Structure 1
Amino acid sequence: MSQFTCTVHGVRKGLPLRKAIFDFGADPVWTLHGPFGPRELSARGRDLIDLAGAIYRIESQIRRRPTDPAVRWELDIPVRDPDFWTSTGGPLLASCLGFLNRARWIPTFYARSDAVEFIHPEPDERKVDQITLFSGGMDSLSGAGSHAGARDPIQLVSFYHGQARLQSELAAELGYHLPTQWRLTGRRGREGMNLIRSFMFLSLGAAVAESYGARRIVQYENGVLGTAVPQSGNFITTRHAHPETHRRIVKLFDAVFGGSFTILNPFLPLTKREVGETLVAALGAARAEKLFRRTETCWYLFQPKVGGLVKANGQPCGVCTPCIVRRTARPMEAAAGAWPDWPGYAFDLTDPRYGEHPVVGITFRGYLELIDIALSAPNDTALIDDLAPEARALIDEVDGPDEALVAGVLRRFAGEFCNTFGISHGSNNGNKQRKARTK
């Protein structure tokens, strides 16, 4: 059977190369449940989704080395249409992946003669003009639930591990058809950084779009995370919903499927708290609250330890980036027992044991730096100038996000954050510098 092989070079020449393999095997790479349109995918379209899944698995096998960051990924990839990928698709693919994980990708393609195709149900003949990515998390729930138009022309697309039932139930409660749900063969490794996974999600959405002849994909993500502003210069953020990610991936989709794709994120100008308010406005507070309580956010939800500290399986940690942003959006979730069976966060960052912990408190302290900048800057330009260089490089006054959008989101988030975590903001020696401090 065909093998996808990867060799990763770091900045330090004396250390061994990191390698990973994905065996395509005798079974389909993907299992598909739910609606799929009447149009069959081309060979290069089927290549795209298999590549997306294989790259996701490959990335998870590459061990992180803080002192030896990966700078070059060399890939040997079996595909159905090697001529297309060598001449056109490969460079566009490398552009997408390189932007997502800040490295150079060098793919080499060869013929894959033993490809096994995924099986999909009978074609769904209804008219679909929009694909909405639907994880079952708070942002995608709020986006799908607050959509003001008809549900029938929209097809939700999901990637799932164990949350397939939750995704289906939430979709039904919002009035949508059953989501198109994709499950990837094999198991995810524990080494990777999850920097490229949005490429997989969007590729699955594009495949479903192609099956219906649609060219519009919506990815709902709040602006705090969608603008890809790191908490401080010491952090590497995902660029999973950044406009530049969308621009690069659109070029690849146009080449693979033809036509003019559009990827939109209506929530880019909003904080996560404001995202939640859109669902409340659409459904009412009581109904929205019941749905919010069922959504999952935590990176470490089903891990028994975080930073060496023990937590319950299925309990959100409270200290990872999505937990911190969600708690800022929904401060009422902080305490265990806020509603029946709610365990609360495993680690409460208002407790110095966790907020000052050398591992579990590091993201929180990074956010304190960002909050300091957001509340100290006298104007938008000054705020942006004080951000980490990576954040400044991703602001575009023509294509966006522009300074005003980013600065506005960060200031409003900073106010929500201070309110949530009991932080005051005072002057420091009258020199226009300010310091965030706990009360």
Structure 2
Amino acid sequence: MTQLVFHHDIEQLKNLPNGVIPVHLYGVGNKKLQIANIGNKVLDEVKRLSIEPSDVVMDFLTIALAVTAADTFVLRKDTANGWCRSLSITLPLCQPDIWQANKTHLEQILHFLSGDIWQFNFQAGGKLPPQPHKLNSRAKLVDLRNKGCVCLFSGGLDSAIGAIDLLEQGYSPVLVSHSYKGDKSRQQMIVEKFNQSRYANQFSQFNAIAQPHLNNGGATEITMRTRSLNFLAFAVVSAYALQEVIQKEIDIFVPENGVISINAPLTSLRVGTLSTRTTHPYFIQEIQKLFTAVNIPFTLKNPYQFKTKGQMIAECKNLPLLRQIIPDTVSCSHWKRKNQQCGVCVPCLIRRASLHYAGITNDAQYEFNDIRQILINQDRKDDLFALIRAIHQKNDRNINQWVLQSGRLPIQQLNQFANVFVDGLNEVEQLLIANQIL
């Protein structure tokens, strides 16, 4: 079991036993002493909300950062099966007793999310909530006045639709972003178009980035199955501040089409944690239960759980604006390699199918603009062929059992989950027929 020890006081991380990974929380670490760090600039962003988080909300942010650090610093390839890691995390919190009572549930949620074995050792003495910037400070504050909800905003097509639909319904959201390198510029392109529309001054933004650094020259893990936990933590911090300002219950919207959310394995080789579960209904359900148990009083909602991406586009409440925004959005799982969407991965193919379904032709440029080129590229055709196999099987397989392979689902809604999965495959099928691949 790999041990990681976290603390906001770097002095507490010196002289640890060999093999233990020391991680400086909310600090800069120390390259000379090989002390890793995460969250160096997060508290500066939290202060811009002008509201001091509660201890429990602060603890959830601390836990999320620790999980992201462990997920980044420990390589899967070094494990016995090349995937499942055993991770022991020693972490000081403001309210360790509350989290200790819910430790087993948290560990189970993270196991579902990442496929790893998680073990927490919560201690007293956690990082206290930061004192917020005041209204008369020079810092640029997040304007929470007259805002009504929080919405995750990644710069992807689904989150853009989610934001537009909320704005059209008069929700005035706080758009929360985990601004990885490259993502922020995409997010700002979309926001700029919002500001040029009638939505100007009807929303606010909260951006933060975890920035884990190992500081020992070693390689880091790139699968990042737990990245959604940081995203949710930033949303929770924002929701707490908003609740304190408007004194109403706050919803956190997680806009994601049902096909990607369920993420049913397309082939037998893709079963399990080789597929991401960041918005899977079971994960969202269990996080909601955890929130209730620790008194984080916000409701997570995905309005598009039973919609395909194509249906989301076609039913968008401001389609003219969405048409302008589409080329700025990113769906690709590999786009940072060449700063361009590949056009051949499953998310790209689902995106292209959804635009075809909605009759929209203005899109971003892809590495493979002609889908037929994928057929003759030996190294890049796996995802396309996996989708083709799934399309051929959809009329013969038990769809309810198929969608359950990615994780538990509410039995009373199982037919709805099955229907949206098949509808998504149908959208891809129509794209491939139009391109004479099927």
TM-score, L = length of structure 1: 0.76
The change in CA–CA distance for 1:265 and 1:44 in structure 2 (over 3 A counts) is: same
Q: 1:314 to 1:69 in 2, by over 3 A?
A: closer
Structure 1 residues 404 and 25, CA gap change in structure 2 (3 angstroms): closer
CA contact (8 A) 2:91 2:120 kept: yes
Residue 405 of structure 2, aligned match among 379, 386, 390: 390
The alpha-carbon distance between structure 1 residues 198 and 170, as it changes in their structure 2 partners (threshold 3 A), is farther
Residue 417 of structure 2 corresponds to 406
Amino acid at match of 2:307: L
Contact 2:264 2:404 in 1 (8 A): no
Uncovered stretches (5+) of structure 1, i.e. residues with no partner: 6-17, 304-312, 425-436
Letter in 1 for 2:55: A
1:44 is paired with a residue whose SS is helix
Q: Are residue 278 (structure 1) and residue 315 (structure 2) matched?
A: yes
Where does residue 61 of structure 1 map in the other structure? 73
Matched, 1:290 2:305: no
1:367 to 363, 380, 387: 387
8 Å Cα contact 1:349-1:361 kept in structure 2: no
Counterpart among 103, 108, 132 of residue 90 in structure 1: 103
Instruction: Give the structure 1 partner of residue 250 of structure 2.
Output: 215
Deviation string, structure 1 residues 137-191 (Cα, Å, up to 9, x no partner):
1101111212342143x32211113315335325434443231111223459752
1:104-132 Cα deviation digits (max 9, x unpaired):
31111224466684865647562544211
Residue type of the partner of 1:106?
Q
Alignment of 1:151-162 (within 5 A): 151-152=171-172, 154-161=173-180, 162=182
Q: Compute the displacement of 1:407 (Å).
A: 2.3
Structure 1 segment 306-317 matched on structure 2, within 5 A: 313-317=338-342
Contact 1:222–1:269 at 8 Å: present in 2 too? yes
Alpha-carbon spacing, 1:247–1:299, altered in 2? closer, same or farther (3 Å) = same
User: Per-residue displacement from partner, 1:56-81 (whole Å, max 9, x unpaired)?
Assistant: 23212332339433153222223333
Inter-partner Cα distance in structure 2 for 1:215 and 1:138: 24
Moved more, 342-351 or 413-422: 342-351
Q: Which moved more, 1:178-187 or 1:19-28?
A: 19-28
One-letter amino acid of the counterpart of residue 100, structure 1: L
Q: Would you say 1:126 and 2:145 are equivalent positions?
A: yes
**Between 46-55 and 368-377, the greater mean CA deviation after superposition:** 368-377
Trace 1:31-70 onto structure 2 (pairs within 5 A). Answer: 33=45, 39-65=51-77, 67-70=81-84
Task: List alignment gaps of at least 5 residues for structure 2.
Answer: 8-18, 29-39, 136-140, 244-248
Residues 302 and 314 in structure 1, CA contact (< 8 A), matched pair in contact too:
yes
Partner residue, 1:267: 304
- What is the distance in 1 between the residues matched to 2:63 and 2:193? 29
Which AA in structure 1 matches 2:260? Answer: L
Rounded to whole Å, the distance in 2 between the matches of 1:101 and 1:250 is 18
Corresponding position of 1:80:
94
- Count matched residues: 385
User: Deviations 1:179-234 (Å, cap 9, x if unpaired)?
Assistant: 11112234597523222111221121111111122431110000111113122221
SS in 2 for 1:150: coil
Specify the SS of the correspondent of 2:89. strand
Report the equivalent of 1:135: 154
- Does 2:221 align with 1:191? yes
Question: Offset of 1:357 from its aligned partner?
Answer: 4.7
Q: Secondary structure at the match of 2:90?
A: strand
Map of 1:248 onto structure 2: 286
CA distance in structure 2 between the aligned counterparts of 1:170 and 1:3, rounded to whole angstroms: 44
SS at match of 1:376: coil
- Relative distance call for 1:170 and 1:121 in structure 2 (3 A) is farther
Q: Residue 12 of structure 1 aligns with which residue?
A: none
2:6 matched to 1:4? yes
- Per-residue deviation at 1:20? 5.3
Question: CA 1:218–1:225 in structure 2 vs 1: closer, same or farther (change >3 Å)?
Answer: same
Contact 1:72 1:104 in 2 (8 A): yes
Q: Is the 8 A contact 1:4 1:22 kept in 2?
A: yes
Distance 1:228 1:155, change over 3 A: same
1:30 and 1:415, CA in 2 relative to 1: closer, same or farther beyond 3 A? same
- Structure 1's 166 and 394: CA in aligned 2 closer, same or farther, altered over 3 A? same
1:419 aligned to 2:430? yes
Cα RMSD after superposing both structures: 3.5
User: Does the CA contact (< 8 Å) of 2:53 and 2:129 recur in 1?
Assistant: no
Alpha-carbon offset, residue 38 of structure 1: 5.5
* One-letter amino acid matched to 1:390: Q
Q: Greater strand percent: which structure? A: 1
Partner of 1:350: 372
Q: Please give the secondary structure, in 1, of the residue aligned with 2:307.
A: coil
Answer 1 or 2: higher relative contact order, Cα 8 Å, separation at least 6: 2
Greater mean deviation of Cα atoms: 261-270 or 94-103: 94-103
Following superposition, the deviation at residue 238 of structure 1 comes to: 1.4
Counterpart of 1:429?
none
Distance 1:222 1:302, change over 3 A: same
1:388 and 1:150 map into 2 onto residues whose CA distance is 34
Aligned-residue sequence identity (percent) comes to: 21
- Matches of 1:324 and 1:50 in 2, distance apart? 36
Instruction: Specify the code of the residue in structure 2 equivalent to 1:43.
Output: D
Query: Contact 1:375 / 1:411 at 8 angstroms: preserved in 2?
Result: no
Q: Deviations over 1:252-303 (max 9, x none)?
A: 22344443x3211111111111111122xx224x432111111122222121
What is residue 10 of structure 1 aligned with on the other side? none
Inter-partner Cα distance in structure 2 for 1:113 and 1:383: 47
1:167 and 1:179 in contact (8 A); partners too: no
* Higher fraction of helix: 2
Aligned equivalents of 1:220, 1:298: Cα separation in 2: 17
Aligned-partner Cα distance in 1 for 2:176–2:108:
24
